[in-house]
Structure 1
């Protein structure tokens, strides 16, 4: 499968400046795996969204601290199932990628004009 996602270039006449709009991860995922959520209860969708945000934040903190396994116990979430998913993620990471030495540069970049 080939994604034909081209960045959108915008020119601002007033500032005489070009900008690039790059598609988000969510937009790319929705193209790869289109889903129809119209039949799913809104409360369930909200719970899934909260779980995704929570896991994203925990993984982000872990990566920003150079995959420090001692931090796993301190990266907290109120919801036990989220913590278990995070621990499963770190375990999978350690089992499959332990020999690869990654260096954290940045996980996300917010750009302002």
Structure 2
């Protein structure tokens, strides 16, 4: 049986599950590709931006003692690393949700197909 023949005899639930899994797959691929591109761009800019932020603050802190400069430098690094971490984690909820629900949708489709096959044979 080829795909077109199967598609013609399939019911609305089967077609809905097919399109749902197809949409989740496309969404996952697009999100993954965007994440890879953003990660490469982010990796190229992080080191330069962090060193620039430290140099700007250190120029303002020339009169401060070493402990204060170290503390301010750590705070600047933590703040900016947190921002970069937040930017690098975009799209993870989409991938996580898709990875969590797609197997159950597929399993439901399998059970539905077996059930429908059993009904048509009976």
TM-score, normalised by the number of residues in structure 2: 0.24
Higher relative contact order (CA 8 A, sep 6+): 2
Higher-strand-fraction structure: 1
Higher-helix-fraction structure: 2
**Which has the greater radius of gyration?**
2
TM-score, normalised by the number of residues in structure 1: 0.26
